[in-house]
A and B are shown apart, each in its own frame.
Chain A
Amino acid sequence: MGKTITEKIFETHRRDNPSRNNVVLNIDVVMCHEITTPIAVNDLQERGLDRVFDPNKIKVVIDHVTPSKDSKTATQAKILRDWARRQNIKDFFDIGANGVCHALFPEKGFIRPGYTVIMGDSHTCTHGAFGAFAAGIGTTDLEVGIFKGVCSFRLPETMKISIIGELPQGVYAKDVILKIIKELTVNGATDKVMEICGPVVDRMSMEARMTLCNMAIEAGATCGVCMPDRVTAEYLWPFIQDEYESIDAAVEDFKKWHSDADAKYVAELTLDVSDLVPQVTYGFKPDEVKDITELEGSRVDQVYMGSCTNGRIEDLRAGAEILKGKKIAPTVRGILSPATPKIYNQAMEEGLIKIYMDAGFCVTNPTCGACLGMSNGVLAEGEVCASTTNRNFNGRMGKGGMVHLMSPYSAAAAAVKGFITDPRKIV
Chain B
Amino acid sequence: MKTFGGPALFLDRNDINTDEIIPAKYLTENSKLALKPFILEDLKLPGFDPVRDTQGVGVVVTRSNFGCGSSREHAVWVFEVNDINVVIGESFARIFRQNMFNCGMPAIELGKDDLDALFGLGDKVEISIDIETETLTAKGNKEIACGFSLNSFDKDLVKAGGWLAYADKKY
Q: Is A140 in contact with B19, judged by CB distance below 8 angstroms?
A: no
A152 contacts which chain B residues (CB < 8 A)?
Answer: 98, 153, 163
CB distance from A377 to the nearest CB of B (A): 13
Q: Report how far A202 CA is from B122 CA in the complex, Å.
A: 55
Q: Which residues of A contact B151 (CB under 8 A)?
A: 19, 21-22, 154
Number of interface residues of B (CB under 8 A): 43
Q: Which residues of B contact A143 (CB under 8 A)?
A: 164
The minimal Cβ–Cβ distance linking A334 to chain B, given in whole angstroms, is 22
Check B69 against A391 for contact (C-beta < 8 Å): yes
Q: Chain B interface: which of A71-79, A157-165, A347-355?
A: A71-79
Closest beta carbon of chain B to A28's beta carbon, Å: 16
* A42-B34 Cα distance, complex, nearest whole Å: 15
Q: How many A residues have CB within 8 A of the partner chain?
A: 57
Within 8 A of B (CB), among A173-194: 186-187, 190-191
In the complex, are the beta carbons of B91 and A42 less than 8 A apart?
Answer: no
A197 contacts chain B at the CB level, 8 A cutoff: no
Interface string of A80-120 (1 = CB under 8 A from B): 00000000000000000000000000000000000000001
Q: Is B139 interfacial (CB 8 A cutoff)?
A: no
Interface contact A394-B95, CB-CB below 8 Å: no
Alpha-carbon separation in the docked complex, A147 to B151 (Å): 25
In the complex, which residues 1-54 of chain A have their Cβ closer than 8 Å to any Cβ of chain B? Answer: 15-16, 18-22, 24, 35-36, 38-39, 42-43, 47, 49
B67: min CB distance to chain A, Å: 10
Tell me the nearest residue of chain B to A372, going by C-beta: B24
Would B152 and A19 count as touching, CB distance under 8 A? yes
Bound together, the chains give a CA A179 to CA B116 distance in angstroms of 32
CB-CB < 8 A to B171: which residues of A? 15-16, 24, 148, 150
Question: Of residues A49, A73, A138, A150, which shows the largest number of chain B Cβ atoms within 10 Å of its Cβ?
Answer: A138
Segment of B50-58, B71-79, B130-138 in the binding face = B71-79
A35/B167 in contact, CB under 8 A: no
Q: Which of A18, A36, A190 contacts B65 (CB 8 A)?
A: A190
Contact in complex: B98, A138 (CB < 8 Å): yes
In the complex, the answer to whether A72 meets B28 with C-beta atoms within 8 Å is: yes
Tell me whether A195 is interfacial, beta carbon within 8 Å.
no
A136 within 8 A of B: yes
Q: Are B99's CB and A399's CB within 8 A?
A: no
B140 contact set on A, CB distance < 8 A:
none
Write the chain A residue with the least CB distance to B19. A393
Q: Given contacts A19-B152, A393-B69, A395-B19, are A141 and B102 in contact (CB under 8 A)?
A: yes
| Complex-state Cα separation, A140 to B68, whole angstroms | 18
A22 in contact with B153 given A122-B69, A141-B98 (CB within 8 Å) = yes
CB within 8 Å for A140 and B153 given contacts A16-B171, A374-B25, A395-B19: no
Interface residue? A170 (CB, 8 A): no
User: Does chain A have a CB within 8 A of B124?
Assistant: no
Write out, one digit per residue, whether chain A residues 345-384 have a CB within 8 A of any chain B CB (1) or not (0): 0000000000000000000000000001110000000000
B15 at the A/B interface (Cβ < 8 Å)? yes
Contacts of B44 in A (CB 8 A): 394
B126 in the interface (beta carbon within 8 A): no
Chain A, residue nearest B156 (CB): A18
Per CB-CB distance, the 10 closest pairs between chain A and chain B, nearest first, are: A138-B73, A138-B99, A140-B102, A19-B153, A187-B65, A72-B28, A372-B24, A136-B71, A139-B73, A122-B71
